[in-house]
Amino acid sequence: MKAKKIEKKGKTVKAVKAAKAVKADKKERILKELKSIVGEKNATTDQHILYAYSYDMSFVTPKLPDYVVIVHTVEEVQKILKVANKEKIPVVPYTSGTNIGGLCIPERGGMILDFKKMNKIVKLDPEALYAVIEPGVSHGQLADALYKYNLRFGWPVGPPSASVASCAICHGIGHMNARYGLNSQEITSMEVVLPTGELVRVGSCAINPDAWHSCLPMPQMDGLFKGWLGSTGIVTKLGIAVHHIPPILKIFTVSCDNVDDMYSYMLNLSNYEICDDLTAVSWWLSQVPIPYPYKPKPDDAPEWFSYATTFSFTEKEKEARTEVWEKVVDEEKKKGTSIQVTHYPEEALKARTQLPSQIVGSTKNYCKMAGGGISWPGTFTPANRWAPIYKEWRKIMIGHNLSPAVRMSMYRGVHYGMLRAMTPFNKQSAKETENARQAIVECLKVDLDNGGMPYKPPVDFSTEINKRAHPGYLMLMRRLKKFLDPNDIMNPGKLGI
Amino acid sequence: MKWNIPNLKELEDILWRCTACGTCKEAYEYGPPSVSSPICPAGEEFGFEGFLSSRGKIAFARGILSGDLGWNEALIDAIYKCNVCGGCQSQCELDHKPFIPEIIEAMRRKIVADGVGPMPKQKVIAQSLNSYDNPYQGPRRVRLDWTRPFKKQGKPIKNILEEPAPILYYVGCTGGYNVPVRVVPQATASIFNKLGLDFGILGESEICCGSTAMRLGDVGAFQRVAESNLELFRKLHDEKGLKTIVTSCAGCYRAFMKDYPMAEEYDRMMEGIRVIHTSQFLYDLYMSGQLKFTESLPWKVTYHDPCHAGRHLTKFIIDKDGTQLWAGAYVKLDDKDCLYDIPRQLLKAIPGIDLREMRRIKANSYCCGGGGGVMTGYNDWAARNAGIRIQEGMETGADQMVSICPFCHYNLNQGSQGIGSKMKLYDLTELIDKVLPEKVS
C-alpha cells in the first residue's frame, strides 16, 4: 500500500505506510502462537498499538509492524525468534525508540519486540567496576542505581528513558568519550539470542557465567553484534564498565570566530588527555533551541564555542588540569588564532554537562522551535577533516534554510571524533521534512567523501555508505549476516545490503 | 454560558510539537544524585507504547486526526485506560507540555461527541449525573448521611441556602456518598466546629462539580452542572453573604480552579468569591495563630500528593504573541498554586508526627490510579496501582499514609487491602481533628 496523503491547511501530511499485508488467517495463527509464549496481554495486532510504533523523531517514513510483542525473559525471546525464523517474519528489537535514525521503524513489517519490561540491573559490582544490564534498563534507571555507589557511565545527550544497551551496541556516545571512548568501547561481555533462537555468549561470561569483566583477550566476537543495528541478534544481557565520579568538576570554555581556530585548539588540548568530554558547537547549536528556520548569527557573536569537561579527585589534580588548559589557550593565542576564554550560554552548558538531562533529553534545545522532527548527519570523522566538512555543511544547511547546528567531539585523544549537525524540522509538514532529509543526505555525502562514517544510520545513509564500500567489506558483511541470520529476519533492510 | 473548551482538531498543531522523544516515560530528577522511577500507571500495567505516557497518547491523537485510526472498541478502551494524572506532563519540556491532559481529554470528548463512548461502566456516571446530580447513583437525601453524628451531638450543620454564612463547605460527591470516605467531611466539619467558624453546606441541594464528567469527555454533562453551580455560587454571594468556598476534594478543587475558568462568564460569576482547598484554608488559620495543636500524635507517616491538588494546578507560561521566544512557545511553569508544601508543613506542625518522604513526590508523585475515570471503568487495575503506591509508602518505614483527596483516600485504602498491608490512608483533616482540642479559644 502506498503512503496515504492527506491535504490540510495547505500542508501535506504523510500518513503511515503499511507493509505487504499478512493474510488474516496467518496473522491470527501467529498471534495465537506469540500469546502462548508471552501471555495474552503481551502480544497484539491492534492497529492503534502498531501505529504507536510506526514513527519516531526522524525523517524516516512511518511504517507499521504487523505484531508488537512485549518480552520479559530470555526464554521468551528465544522461543519468539524460533517462531519468527521458522515463519520468516521480520523482527525489530525495540527498547524506547528514541534514536533519530528510524532504526526501529520496521522496513518490512513483521514483529516489534519491545524490551522495556526486560529492565533488570542483573549485577552491579562496585569493586570490579562493571554492571550487567538487560536491554530495557534506561539511562535514568542506571544513573539512579550507580549514584548509590558514586559511580557513573557515559550518559548520552538523550532522554533519561533511553536504553543504555541500545545506545552502547549502536556505538552511541556518552559524556566521557574523550576519556573512555564510545559507549560501545565500555562493553565487557554479552549474552545474545541469535536470529535462529540459539543463546550465545561472548566475552568473559562465555567461559565463566559469573565473569562479565572483559571482552578481551578472546576473539572480539562482540563485534558481531555492535554497529549492526539489531540485524544480527538480540543482546539480552550486556556487561558494561562503570567508573567512579571524581568530586571536583571544572569546565573550561572558550570561543572563537572560525572552525579552523577551534580545530587547532581542540587538537592541541586533546593531546594532553585531561578531559572527560572535549566538545565544540557552532553558534546555532549553542542556542536554546536551535533556530528554525535558519537565522543568521549576529555579527559580533563567536561562531564556535567549546566546553571541556574535567573531573578531578583533588584540588591539586584540578590545578594541574587547569595549568595544562591555560598553557594550551596561551599557545593558541600566540599562534594568532581567535580563541578567547568565554562564558558559555548557561542553559546550554547545563543541558550538556548535567546528564542524563531532561532539558537536552527532551531535545528542547534541539527541535523545540521547529516542532516534531529531528535528524542528523551523525558521523565519526577524522578531526583534520572537520573544518573543511563544516564549511561545506554550512553552505548546504543554509541553502536549505536550516541552521548549521554542528557539534565536534574528540574521542579518547585519537584525533577523530564525532561530527554531526542536529537538524530540526517541522514534522507536520511533509515538504519541510523532505527538505531536511535532502540537506542531511547531502551533508552525509560530503562527510563520506572526506573519510567520515555515519553512526546509527538510517537506510538512506546505509545506501550511500555501501556505494562507496570496498567490495570485500560488503561481501564479508553479507556472509556474516547470512551466517547469523539465514532467513534475513532481523531488522531487515536497515543495512542497505 | 459560553465555554472555551478545545476540541481535538483545534489542538492539532499543538500535538505536532511532540517529538516522540520519550522523556515523558520516566520520572526523573537530575539531582545529583539523580532519581528515576516509572511515572505512568497505564504504562506500568499495559506496557505497550500507546498506553505509555503522553508520547503514546499523542500517537493515538495523530492517528485519529490523520484518519489512520478509526474508532473501534480496543482504541476507545486504550484512550480510557489513562488516569490523566499529568505525571508525563511533568517530565516534558516541549511546547505541547501545557496541553497534555487537554489533548487526552479532547480525544475523549471526541469519543463522546461521536457517540462511541465512554466505556460501558463509565456510562453509568453520565446517567447518574442526569438522574441524581452525582456520579454515585445516590439519592439526594443520602448526601447528608455523613452529618448524622453532628445531629446526634446536637450540633447540626447549617444549610447555607437557609441561613447566611460567609463560608460554604462544598463537600463533593465522594465525601458525601462513598461510605468509607465520609470520615473526610466529618473531620473537616468537626475542625470547623472546634474553630467556631461560621460555615454552611448545601445539604441535599449540593450537586456534582462535574469533574468526573469532564475527565471522561462528557462535556455536556459537565457544563450543565458547572453552570448550575456557578449560578448558585453567585446567588449565594449576593443573597447569603458567601465569600469563601472550601472544599476537601481535590477533584472538585481542580474543577473549580482549572475547568470552570473555561467559562467566559467565570470572572463575573465568581467575583468576590474565593475557592480554597481545606489544607490551604487550615494552613492560613495555622499561620495566623487561630489553629493550634496542643496534643501529640506519635505517628510515622508518609504523604501522597494527589494529582488534582498537586501538579494539575500548575500554571504554564506560554508566549502567545511571540515576544519572548516564539508564538506558542512554552516558556516556564509556575507551581505556586500546587499544594505540595502546605500539607507537609501542616503535617510537620502536628506534635509527634514523623514524616517520611517517598521516592516519587510533588510533581513526580505516582498517581494512586483512581483518577481519569479509571476507578469506575477499571476498578481492579485502580486498586492494583494503589497497591504499588502503598508499597512505596511502606518502603519509607511509615506506618500510615496521609493525603488530601477523598478519591485517593478510597482507592489507596482499597489498594492497601489488596496487598494485605496494614497501612491506611488518612486524610490530613483526620489527623488534625485528632489533635485539635474540643474548644479552641
Taking a contact as any Cβ pair under 8 Å apart, which residues of chain A between 370 and 409 contact chain B? 371-374
Which member of A55, A161, A427 has the closest CB to residue B22?
A161
A28 phi, psi to nearest 5 deg: -65, -40
State how far the Cα of A14 lies from the Cα of A111, in Å rounded to an integer. 23
Query: CB distance B69–A47 less than 8 Å?
Result: yes
Residues of chain A with CATH 3.40.462.10: 248-455
Nearest CB to A162: which of B22, B68, B91?
Answer: B22
Verify whether the Cβ–Cβ distance B30 to A56 is below 8 Å. no
Is B258 domain-assigned? yes
Tell if the CB–CB gap between B75 and A368 is shorter than 8 Å.
no
Look at residue B134 and tell me if it is in a domain.
Answer: yes
* B268, part of any domain: yes
Distance from CA of A42 to the nearest CA of B (A): 8
Mean pLDDT by 10 residues, chain B (441 residues): 97 94 93 92 97 97 97 98 98 94 98 95 91 94 96 95 97 96 98 97 97 96 97 98 98 98 98 98 97 94 98 96 89 96 98 97 98 96 98 98 97 98 98 87 49
Name B169's bridge partners: B246
Q: Is the peptide bond before A293 cis (omega within 30 degrees of 0)?
A: yes
Find chain A residues with C-beta within 8 A of B95's C-beta.
368, 371
Is B126 within the bounds of a domain? yes
SS3 A39: coil
Question: Please, are residues B55 and A3 in contact by the beta-carbon 8 Å criterion?
Answer: no
Farthest-apart Cα atoms in chain B, separation? 67
Residue A361: closest CA among A115, A162, A497: A162
Taking CA atoms, A259 is separated from A304, B159, B209, in Å, by 7, 77, 62
pLDDT for position B269? 97
Between CA B353 and CA B428 the distance in angstroms is 12
Interface test with B, best of A42, A48, A139, A425 (most B CBs within 10 A): A48
The alpha-carbon gap from A364 to the nearest alpha carbon of chain B, in Å, equals 6
Q: Chain A residues with CB inside 8 Å of B75's CB?
A: 46-48
Q: Which residues of A31-47 are buried (b: 16+ CB within 10 A; e: fewer)?
A: beebeebbeeebbbbbb
Residue B29 distance to chain A (closest CA, Å): 8
Please compute the mean of the pLDDT values over residues A389-417 and round it to a whole number: 95
- Give the Cα separation of B414 and B416 in Å (integer): 5
The average pLDDT across A225-231 equals 96
Domain(s) of CATH 3.30.465.10: residues in chain A: 121-244
Are the beta carbons of B64 and B111 closer than 8 angstroms? Answer: no
Q: Determine, yes or no, domain membership for B337.
A: no
- Give A360 to chain B, closest Cα distance, Å: 9
Burial B110-146 (b: 16+ CB within 10 A, else e): bbbeeeebbbeebbbbbebbeebbbbbebeeebbbeb
Domain that holds residue B174: 122-290
Q: Which residues of A touch B54 (CB under 8 A)?
A: none
| 3-state secondary structure at position A490 | strand
CB contact under 8 A, B25 and A148: no
Q: Which amino acid, one-letter code, is at A126?
A: P
**pLDDT given for residue A358 in this prediction:** 66
Q: Omega into B351 within 30° of 0, i.e. cis?
A: no
DSSP assignment of A362-381 equals TTHHHHTTT-EEEE--EEEE
Angle, CA of B164, B288 and B303, to the nearest 5°: 95
Largest CA distance in chain A: 75
A246 touching chain B per CB within 8 A: no
Q: What mean pLDDT value characterizes chain A? A: 92
Spell out which residues of chain B touch residue A121, defining contact as CB-CB under 8 Å.
none
Q: What is the mean pLDDT of residues A19-36?
A: 93
State residue A365's pLDDT score: 57
B127 occurs within a structural domain: yes
Beta-carbon separation of A6 and B66 below 8 A: yes
Q: Could you give the CA distance from residue B424 to residue B184 in angstroms, rounded to a whole number?
A: 14
For domain A248-455, give the CATH number. 3.40.462.10
Q: Is A141 within 8 Å of B72 when comparing Cβ atoms?
A: no
Please give the grid coordinates belonging to residue A204.
568473559
Q: What is the pLDDT of residue A13?
A: 45
Q: Look at residue A7 and tell me whether its pLDDT is greater than 50.
A: no
pTM: 0.95
Q: Does residue B324 belong to any structural domain of this protein? A: no
- Into how many domains does chain B fold? 1
Residue of B nearest to A357 (CA): B30
Gap between the Cα atoms of A142 and A428, Å rounded: 34
Residue B240 falls inside a structural domain: yes
Phi, psi dihedral angles at A480 (to 5 degrees): -65, -45
Contact B49 A359 (CB under 8 A): no
Residues of A in Cβ contact (< 8 Å) with B35: 144
Rounded distance, CA A265 to CA A287, Å?
A: 22
Is A44 part of the contact surface with chain B (CB cutoff 8 Å)?
A: yes
pLDDT in tens, A131-159: 999 999 999 999 999 999 999 999 998 88
According to DSSP, the β-strands at B400-403 and B244-247 are unpaired
Contact B33, A147 (CB under 8 A): yes
CATH architecture, domain A121-244: 2-Layer Sandwich (3.30)
DSSP A189-237: EEEEE-TTS-EEEEEGGGTSTT--S-S-SS--GGGGTSSSTTSS-EEEE
CATH class, domain A5-114, is: alpha beta
Nearest to B16 among A141, A368, A371 (CB): A371
- Nearest of B15, B18, B111, B39 to residue B307 by alpha carbon: B39
Q: What is the CATH number of the domain that holds B196?
A: 3.40.50.1860
Nearest to B23 among A56, A141, A358 (CB): A358
Interface with B, mutate which of A358, A359, A429 (most B CBs under 10 A): A358
Q: How confident is the model at residue A366 (pLDDT cuts 50, 70, 90)?
A: low
Cβ–Cβ contact A119 with B under 8 A: no
| Phi and psi at residue A430, to the nearest 5° | -65, -35
ipTM field: 0.95
Q: Is the pLDDT of residue A361 over 60?
A: no
Of A48, A68, A117, the CB nearest to B74: A48
**Coil, helix or strand at residue A263:** helix
Give me the residues of A, 264-293, that contact B with CB < 8 A: none
Q: Which residue in A97, A140, A369 is closest to B49 by CB distance?
A: A97
pLDDT of residue A360: 55
Q: Which residue of A has its CA nearest to B14?
A: A371
Q: Report the C-alpha gap between A1 and A17 in whole angstroms.
A: 7
